[in-house]
Amino acid sequence: MLEHLTTETRNEKTMNLDEMSIFDFLTTMNEEDEKVASAIKKELSSIAKAVEAIIEAKKQGGRLIYIGAGTSGRIGLLDAVECPPTFGTNPDEVIGLIAGGEKAFIKAVEGAEDSKELGMEDLQNIRLTKVDIVVGIAASGRTPYVIGALEYANSIEAQTIAISCNKGSDIGKVANIAIEVVNGPEVLTGSTRLKAGTAQKLVCNMLSTASMVGIGKVYGNLMVDVQLTNEKLVERAKRIVMEATSCTYDTAEEYLAKANCNSKLAIVMILTGLSYEESLHRLEQTQGFIRQAIVN
């Protein structure tokens, strides 16, 4: 059955991989990697539908949950853990689940991906609800762990999305929305941490970033909900306030202090001349959208 999957077929350009010079191989690999963005472009309509579904789920208080095994699971986890510092989300708003549990991020847990029941159980353990949205990730599109998770999510009427790198994938058939990015064979046969992994990471980048824009976590192209957890991010927040308001460094520093290190609040205070309390009320009225808060 694997021989029918694009991700498992042999790449004719690298049949003599072990005989190629380093430079020739790297050139070929680079050329193959260039195909990923083009393959994703063909799936933009499906990705847009997925983003719309995530935004709707978030507006209802739902969580975004990535679930996968191996490389796919790690990619989902990577995207999930970056959301709190980048967008100011709570750690339980965007969740990454991997077959075998968190320890599988570092070391493979053999057999975990072969169990549909484990996929279901992992969603039950986080108390999945119908307002949550589940994104199943599997390069092959046939991982039982992911299929089990998507089937369970469907059974409680939660919205489901599948990301795979084969057309007509099993997970695509189970999910409400299928994103199937076909990059062609890997330079190293079956090594889906390569082009498939890159494609999955790029799609996850799109899903999280576009959906966060859609719920007011961004002003212009600025990360206005960035969390100031270290000195680098404190300085970044000052630059964000400066860029958003055309104010001086000293003014940005002053208003960040007045706003209790809340970049979004500092921006509204500067642009409207309103007090802390009034600016906070504006943001609450507009569900966190700065552009709407400053024109009311």
Per-residue pLDDT of the chain (296 residues; tens, 9 = 90+): 565 688 889 999 999 999 999 999 999 999 999 999 999 999 999 999 999 999 999 999 999 999 999 999 999 999 999 999 999 999 999 999 999 988 888 887 767 788 999 999 999 999 999 999 999 999 999 999 999 999 999 999 999 999 999 999 999 999 999 999 999 999 999 999 999 999 999 999 999 999 999 999 999 999 999 888 889 989 999 999 999 999 999 999 999 999 999 999 999 999 999 999 999 999 999 999 999 999 86
This prediction's pTM: 0.93
The phi, psi pair for 186, rounded to 5°, reads -75, 155
Burial of 118 (0-12, 13-18, 19+ CB in 10 A): buried
User: How many C-alpha atoms does 12 have within 13 Å on its Cβ side?
Assistant: 0
Q: Which of 43, 113, 180, 186 is catalytic?
A: 113
Rg (CA), the chain: 22
Q: How far apart are CA 206 and CA 98, in angstroms?
A: 20
The reported pLDDT for the residue numbered 242 is 97
Q: What is the distance between the alpha carbons of residues 244 and 220, in angstroms, rounded to a whole number?
A: 8
- The whole-number pLDDT of residue 1 equals 56
Please pick, among 8, 52, 56, 82, the residue that the annotation labels catalytic.
82
**Measured on CA atoms in the order 146, 151, 156, 161, is the torsion positive or negative?**
positive
The pLDDT assigned to 2 comes to 60
Rounded Cα–Cα distance for residues 93 and 76 (Å):
14
pLDDT of residue 227: 86
Is 243 catalytic? The answer is: no
113 flagged as catalytic: yes
